[in-house]
Structure 1
Amino acid sequence: MSQITDTDQKDKKSKGIPFEEMLRICLSHWKWYAISLLIIMGFAVYKLISTEPTYLRTASVLIKEESKGGQFGNMAAALSDLGGVTPMSSVDNELEAMKSPAVMLEVIEKLGLNTDYKQTGGLRDKTLYGNNQPFVLTFSNPDERYSYSVTGDLGVDNKFVINKIESRGNGEKFKYSDIFTLDLNKGVDSVATPAGTLVISPNPEYKAKELKEPMRINIYHTPVEWRVQGYTSRLNAVLANRKASVINLSFADHSRQRASDIINAVIDVYNEKWIDDKNRMTDATAEFIDQRIDIIKNELLDVDRSISNYKSKNSLPDLQAIVSVDLAKQSEAEKKILELQSQYTMAKHLQEFISNPDNYDKVLPSMSITGLANSGSANSEILEYNTTLMERNRLVSDNSTSNPLVKDFDRRLDGMRKAIVQSVSTQTEQLRTALNDMVAERNRTSGRIANSPTQANDLLGVERQQKVKEALYLYLLEKKEANDLSKTFTAYNTRVITPPMGDSKPVAPRGMKTLLFAFFFAMAVPTGLIFVQYNMDTMVRTKADMDDRFKAPFLGSVPLYGKKPSRLKRLFKKKGGEDKPSDIVVKYGNGSAINEAFRMIRSNLELMNSRIAAGRDDKSIVTMVTSAIPGSGKTFVSLNLAAAYALKKIKVAVVDVDLRKATLSKSFGAPHRGVTAYLSGTATLDDIIIKNASGVEYLDVVPAGVIPPDPAELIDSPRFAKLMSELKSRYDVVLLDCPPTEPVTDSSVITRVVDRTVYVVRVGNLKRDFLDTLQEYYEHKRYTNMTAVLNAVDGGSGKASYGYGYGYGYGYGNKDK
């Protein structure tokens, strides 16, 4: 026997839900859309009303860059030959510096952003800041492990009455309901509370009107560190253009004034940090120059003292006149030697400074102090080293030296330092070689002074030393002055192009956008539910479902009759419940949809049956009406199809051959004499016929009678065929209300004596997969001349619907089927 729920047929997929069918289903669920719109749109309106608006403020900052000099933060640029600082900032680095938590930490401390003020009450809270914040509440020495929430009322008498204090932290929560009063009329007032000493003072920026009713205010205070991450993430800093050095800063906040203040404070703090970094490098350079000046000054005093002592001891006259001719010849060579000696001495000092381990954590002076024009390579290495060193020192200030990033910086600095020492050593060796060559040239010139006294040559050597020291001393004084001037006249490396400004309209919530989204979402929710329900529904719902799989001739659709039961009733409907009698709804003069549906089915049957009757003497047609499972409405279809024939004055008989349930007979009082009495030979046909059933002329009914213990044997008996022959002799049309095909085999026996089979498929009562089985029945002609009727189609007239009288507990065979 075929199984209804689990067939062995191939899984054939339908074409999907047609647009017109989907539209019809959606319209039939208009209440879903109404409820969805009411709930979702109502919630959206509530959120728009209750959500405090957020405003956006933006500013543009130009980062000043130079084509020459070191990177930002390189103090060696202070000693360039131009004098003063010539920084060149990397825009990407400055972008990260502006967004750094260190900058935001100082901004929060500067503006007191770790304390929020809100006016509560009503549907929407209002942020109080700046000119609408009536007072400033200071938490004196609070416990940094906890956050505090203070709620109170500011009265018209200018007194703030605290009625609730809450603290949270370390997984703990405390509530205090004591009353504390702070009087703003005193100017500054304080009170001891569980949150510490609270100090209140009027806000000088407050410009609102005097209060006419008390204002409920909530103050939320947290440690500064708790707010850094949140404010940093809300600050948006991006490059305006990859080819430009302009940074766009933006900040969104409930207070327009606070958003502007935060952007301005970020720029100010960034500039202050930039100046501090530059000044530290300038101070390091000044310290190095001062040390060199002290050394050269002492050496110059020693040389002056040696010259004076030598002249006094040897009573020498003025040697300038003696060697004036020779010195004139050597002037160019001496000038070059002085320059080389100055450069060589400074290079040696610089080499000693760099190689000294005590100076590893100090920024390095530039090679430009040697005066070499070709010192650019070593100088660029020193500039890169200083930048890396300062980044490492900033990282150490916030972390320990054991931090992996710090160790990585140390390794990089060690390699860079070795490369710098190598470069400086190369420069020093080049200076030494050039100096030796120039001294040799000078000695060749001095050899021509053969007649000069030995004392003159000795004194001349000492005087040369004196000139070298003097030149170096003056050079360092010049650089010290330039360094001091650069520190005095320091300019920021930023310029505000556009101050914080923005639209007066909030960026969130967006009213129209929110409502449009809510509308589409409200429409999408029921549509999605309907679509999912349709695709998960395995039952036959439309004629399209049948067209895809069941190719038998389609007679028509019968609209749903009666009130459609609720989904809840259908869900909890008791199986095996008592079947309800069927009604005759097809009546003369009734133009309802269900009447027209049965007339259409009658017409289609007449057309097809005319072909069967053609060419034979017997024009009477026997039609069996059956279904796959109980509850399909075959009795209803049989009875009303017979009524449709009777309207045309065609003699029709409806025979209840469902000898197991006898549902048709129940509609006429369930007589005890019926088909079973005829088949058992205890009654004649005239004894069991109900003439003009329900007052319908030309319509007779043959009830089933007493339920027999062996219905299949009775139907398979010769008297059943005799019954059909006798009925055909009396009526133009004979309709047999048969048992369902799947629970029992009765219909397979009955089909032998019929001319036509009407197979009733009820919407929502038969799985689509079983249509494949029906197609096999049709192809293999298991039932005579199969045709199909779709019953209980929703969408007919309001009253043309067939009730859910049938249930799954039809009682055929095993009850678990």
Structure 2
Amino acid sequence: MEYNQNIQPMASPEIDFDKLKLILRSNWMWIALIFILANATAYAFIRYTKNLYQSSSELKLEVKDEASELGIETMMMEDKNRNLVSGEIEIIQSELFLNRVLDFSAFDVSFFSVGRVLNEELFHNPPATVVYFNKNHSLYNQPIAFEEVDERQFKLQLRDDKEVIGRYAERVKIHDLELILKRNDNFKKGDEIGYFLVINSRSTLLDYLRKNLTAEPLNYNANTIRISFKDYNPYKAQAVLSKIDSLYLQFSNEQKNLANKQKIDWLTNELSQIEKKMEAHENYFENFTLQNKTSNLDEDLKETIIGINKLDSQRYHYARRLADLDLFVNRLNNGEFQLPIMLRQQLPPVMNTQLDALQQLQLEQDKLKLSYQEITFAYRQKAKEIEVLKAKSLDQLTGLRDEWHKRLQEVNQRKAAMEKQFASLPDKNTEFSKNQRFYKLYEEFYLTLMQSKSQFEIAMAGSIPDFRVLAPASLSLKPISPNNMMVAGAGFVASMVFIFFFIGVSYLANNRITGVNELEKNTTAPLLGAVPMMKQKDEGLHVKDYPRSMVSEAIRTLRTNLDFFNIAAKKKVIAVSSTVSGEGKSFIAMNLGGAMALSKKKVILIDLDMRKAKTNMAANESDPSKGVSTVLIRKDLWQECVVRMPLNNFDYLPSGPHPPNPSELLMNTEFTTLLAELKEHYDCIVMDTPPVGLVTDGIVAMKSADISVYVFRANYSKKEFLSNLQRIISINKFSNITTLLNAVPSSGKTYGYGYYEENGSPGKIKSIFRR
């Protein structure tokens, strides 16, 4: 029987469901483990995460603008509502306001219960109330274990320190902390392991408030805001938020009134002082005019005043220089060599260079101090250099100071001369100019302050804050996080995603042949059949030892299917081959020959794998020095090498000793002559060839066969073996090759009518997953 070998196999883009079911069956434990781990992680997160509660309140910011009734333009921006809401939110979240909350609250001491899983704060009903006296102690933010001895006594312990026993309502001291505990008679102990208290520092409480407090605009047009506070204890969240609401209303009103009032009071006081000064100057001007009959000043007086002012500037300049120089001389005597930048700009370059050198020597001395003691020679030498350079710098600075002092004296002399000249002018004119100058300054300052005061008075009169609480702090016993349903759903979805990726990666990474459909789709050779996987390890004559098994029935089916190939041949030569070893080629060849022998045919099995002798055959013991290799070199007759199998009409011709040239032995005429002689004595010749993927011996044997059975092993043979078979068919122009899939996993269904027996039966779990 010939068939068309020109049909090219087409790779199917569809999902191979048989392969997918095999992956699911073989990796069900990993899939179950992924599912369990993902959902267990979600459960652990829910179990070991504290419930977070939130309390919320709503405030309305009413600001009545009455300034427009007076016809006065307000000083607010166009979008005053938005600015008002944003400004109040900043006040609520400011550190100034939060400190005010802490000043009027009692959240500094926290009591906790030690649970078997999580610790819980006993805010609503603690075992005792705590009062501590000294604010400056070292036990802030440290857990202090608490244990009640009886109704009068208790124990306190800090980490692994010694226990301290105290009495309720009496002072007890632990380290540098003094406190008093008052017993709560309403407290009832549960299944807690223990208790501990923590005294929170102010910085910790500020961080706690900032982290959990949220203020956000609710409606800009209505000037409403929502304030919320989060905590692991719902009662504490409500208590803290209630305190924030009440203090905010009071604080906001005080801050607004206090700010404007303080500004107006200060302006009023300053205006009063300036009015008195201006009144004194006005009285002077009036008396001066009456006494002198004039108010004009001479130009000489102006020039003299300008000259004196210039000399005053010079005197201030030299005096400032001398003061800075004296300060630096003192610092230089004390070992400090840093000089003000303004003074260094006025020193000669040589002196600046010496000062830089002195600073460099001091740095070197400091470095030596890190490595040497002060009594060492290097350190003393460096100190001597510093002293020499220091003395030299002091001498130069002293000389410079004398020079500047001399110049200052010269300026003083010049000023004295000008003042003497000025003294000749009328003293009253000088006093008049001075008073006139101060009067103008006071007048300008007075007008500026009056304008500012008017603006603040208008703002204070025009803006009347009227804040109200629309919704008080709520008590929510439903946690906002974690969302158990969402976390559980996320765990389930994550498990499905991980399982999907695991199956996908396993599917793509699996390059093994899994089912007969892959042979049908990817090869042009017809499928002879499939042999199921055995439940036990048996490489002998399975058809004889287990005649009612599914494997034996499958092999008998192969025997029947072979009758449809090359029907005209009465004597058939069958070659059984595979790509590599381990695919069950020899097992199929031996049991196929045994099945033919059971059908009353004379069968001989020839082992042509002369490179690797078989050691697990069911034949009787044979002489290892005789076999196919000795027959082909004409050393022995084939009749002398034949071994009887433990089955009637079934003989076995072993491979014999390993020859150096097995391929050449199969290619000569002796092999053809051997087959011709065997055909005269046997109805069927089964050849167990070497793997064609490793050596070429099998190709030679397949060319001499009437039909070739190419064996693949399920979940063992790689998919590229199919391409190898196609290449063999194409190169050698084979038209008599059939394929067979060996060791196919059982799907739980039996062939035929279900009367086949297997040694042992699969467990219930395996049976379920096989389905």
State TM-score, norm by structure 2.
0.63
SS of the counterpart of 1:274?
A: helix
Matched, 1:189 2:171: yes
In the alignment, the residues of structure 1 paired with residue 730 and residue 620 of structure 2 have an alpha-carbon distance, to the nearest angstrom, of 39
C-alpha distance 221-761 of structure 1, shift in aligned 2 (>3 A): farther
CA shift, 1:736, in A, is 1.4
User: How far does the alpha carbon of each residue in 1:546-604 deviate from its partner, in whole angstroms, 9 at most, with x for none?
Assistant: 566444333333333246xxxxxxxxxxxxxxxx9723333598554434443444444
Report 1:427-506 matches (<5 A).
491-492=465-466, 494-501=467-474, 503-506=476-479
C-alpha distance 718-236 of structure 1, shift in aligned 2 (>3 A): farther
CA shift, 1:284, in A, is 0.6
In the alignment, the residues of structure 2 paired with residue 729 and residue 737 of structure 1 have an alpha-carbon distance, to the nearest angstrom, of 20
Matched, 1:264 2:217: no
Residue 262 of structure 2: aligned partner: 283
In the alignment, the residues of structure 2 paired with residue 660 and residue 481 of structure 1 have an alpha-carbon distance, to the nearest angstrom, of 111
C-alpha distance 281-44 of structure 1, shift in aligned 2 (>3 A): same
In the alignment, the residues of structure 2 paired with residue 252 and residue 586 of structure 1 have an alpha-carbon distance, to the nearest angstrom, of 77
In the alignment, the residues of structure 2 paired with residue 605 and residue 183 of structure 1 have an alpha-carbon distance, to the nearest angstrom, of 101
CA shift, 1:754, in A, is 1.3
CA shift, 1:738, in A, is 1.0
Matched, 1:90 2:93: no
Residue 216 of structure 2: aligned partner: 238
CA shift, 1:641, in A, is 2.9
Residue 315 of structure 1: aligned partner: none
**Unpaired runs of at least 5, structure 2:** 1-9, 286-446, 750-756, 761-771
CA shift, 1:747, in A, is 1.1
Residue 3 of structure 2: aligned partner: none
SS of the counterpart of 1:123?
A: coil
User: How far does the alpha carbon of each residue in 1:717-763 deviate from its partner, in whole angstroms, 9 at most, with x for none?
Assistant: 32211222233344443321111113222112212211222222223
User: How far does the alpha carbon of each residue in 1:212-255 deviate from its partner, in whole angstroms, 9 at most, with x for none?
Assistant: 89861133445332454454343343333565533333333220
Residues 78 and 282, structure 1, Cα contact 8 Å, conserved in 2: no
Matched, 1:779 2:761: no
Counterpart residue type for residue 707 of structure 2: R
RMSD: 4.7
Counterpart residue type for residue 530 of structure 2: S
* Count of residues in Structure 1 that have an aligned counterpart in Structure 2: 576
Counterpart residue type for residue 582 of structure 1: E
Residue 180 of structure 2: aligned partner: 200
Residue 178 of structure 1: aligned partner: 162
Report 1:192-341 matches (<5 A).
192-193=174-175, 196-202=176-182, 208-211=186-189, 216-226=194-204, 228-229=206-207, 231-241=209-219, 244-278=222-256, 279-289=258-268, 291-292=270-271
SS of the counterpart of 2:238?
A: helix
CA shift, 1:126, in A, is 2.0
SS of the counterpart of 2:691?
A: coil
SS of the counterpart of 1:53?
A: coil
CA shift, 1:120, in A, is 0.6
Q: Alignment partner for residue 529 of structure 1, among 499, 502, 523? A: 502
Matched, 1:625 2:579: no
User: How far does the alpha carbon of each residue in 1:255-299 deviate from its partner, in whole angstroms, 9 at most, with x for none?
Assistant: 001111232334345445533441213321343245446767999
Residue 582 of structure 1: aligned partner: 539
In the alignment, the residues of structure 2 paired with residue 484 and residue 526 of structure 1 have an alpha-carbon distance, to the nearest angstrom, of 69
Counterpart residue type for residue 265 of structure 1: K
Q: Alignment partner for residue 622 of structure 2, among 660, 671, 677? A: 671
**Unpaired runs of at least 5, structure 1:** 1-11, 70-76, 166-175, 307-471, 564-579, 803-817
CA shift, 1:629, in A, is 1.6
Residue 555 of structure 1: aligned partner: 528
CA shift, 1:633, in A, is 1.5
CA shift, 1:119, in A, is 0.6
SS of the counterpart of 1:200?
A: strand
Residues 520 and 526, structure 2, Cα contact 8 Å, conserved in 1: no
Residue 359 of structure 2: aligned partner: none
CA shift, 1:191, in A, is 0.8
In the alignment, the residues of structure 2 paired with residue 589 and residue 581 of structure 1 have an alpha-carbon distance, to the nearest angstrom, of 10
Report 1:554-573 matches (<5 A).
554-562=527-535
CA shift, 1:179, in A, is 1.1
CA shift, 1:655, in A, is 1.8
C-alpha distance 767-269 of structure 1, shift in aligned 2 (>3 A): farther
Counterpart residue type for residue 788 of structure 1: T
User: How far does the alpha carbon of each residue in 1:357-376 deviate from its partner, in whole angstroms, 9 at most, with x for none?
Assistant: xxxxxxxxxxxxxxxxxxxx
CA shift, 1:659, in A, is 1.2
Counterpart residue type for residue 240 of structure 2: I
Residue 607 of structure 2: aligned partner: 656
Matched, 1:790 2:741: yes
User: How far does the alpha carbon of each residue in 1:45-77 deviate from its partner, in whole angstroms, 9 at most, with x for none?
Assistant: 4554444332232222333356777xxxxxxx9
Residue 754 of structure 1: aligned partner: 705
Residue 135 of structure 1: aligned partner: 129
Residues 573 and 684, structure 2, Cα contact 8 Å, conserved in 1: yes
SS of the counterpart of 1:131?
A: coil
Percent same amino acid among aligned pairs? Answer: 23
In the alignment, the residues of structure 1 paired with residue 114 and residue 454 of structure 2 have an alpha-carbon distance, to the nearest angstrom, of 63
In the alignment, the residues of structure 2 paired with residue 117 and residue 45 of structure 1 have an alpha-carbon distance, to the nearest angstrom, of 28
Residue 724 of structure 1: aligned partner: 675
CA shift, 1:31, in A, is 2.9
In the alignment, the residues of structure 1 paired with residue 621 and residue 717 of structure 2 have an alpha-carbon distance, to the nearest angstrom, of 28
User: How far does the alpha carbon of each residue in 1:137-167 deviate from its partner, in whole angstroms, 9 at most, with x for none?
Assistant: 64844567974222232344353312333xx
User: How far does the alpha carbon of each residue in 1:182-215 deviate from its partner, in whole angstroms, 9 at most, with x for none?
Assistant: 322x2x523132xx31413338xx6744448986
Report 1:340-379 matches (<5 A).
none
Residue 51 of structure 2: aligned partner: 53
Residues 163 and 180, structure 1, Cα contact 8 Å, conserved in 2: yes
Residues 58 and 501, structure 1, Cα contact 8 Å, conserved in 2: yes
C-alpha distance 733-49 of structure 1, shift in aligned 2 (>3 A): same
Residues 79 and 483, structure 1, Cα contact 8 Å, conserved in 2: no
In the alignment, the residues of structure 2 paired with residue 506 and residue 98 of structure 1 have an alpha-carbon distance, to the nearest angstrom, of 24
CA shift, 1:42, in A, is 4.9
SS of the counterpart of 2:473?
A: strand
C-alpha distance 520-483 of structure 1, shift in aligned 2 (>3 A): closer
Residues 606 and 686, structure 2, Cα contact 8 Å, conserved in 1: yes
C-alpha distance 702-264 of structure 1, shift in aligned 2 (>3 A): same
Residues 727 and 734, structure 1, Cα contact 8 Å, conserved in 2: yes
Counterpart residue type for residue 500 of structure 1: A
CA shift, 1:544, in A, is 5.5
User: How far does the alpha carbon of each residue in 1:628-657 deviate from its partner, in whole angstroms, 9 at most, with x for none?
Assistant: 222122112222333444454454432211
CA shift, 1:514, in A, is 3.6
CA shift, 1:28, in A, is 3.9
In the alignment, the residues of structure 2 paired with residue 646 and residue 244 of structure 1 have an alpha-carbon distance, to the nearest angstrom, of 101
Residue 144 of structure 2: aligned partner: 150
Residue 688 of structure 1: aligned partner: 641
Residues 145 and 197, structure 2, Cα contact 8 Å, conserved in 1: yes
State TM-score, norm by structure 1.
0.60
In the alignment, the residues of structure 2 paired with residue 145 and residue 183 of structure 1 have an alpha-carbon distance, to the nearest angstrom, of 20
Counterpart residue type for residue 613 of structure 1: I
Residue 61 of structure 2: aligned partner: 63
SS of the counterpart of 1:90?
A: helix
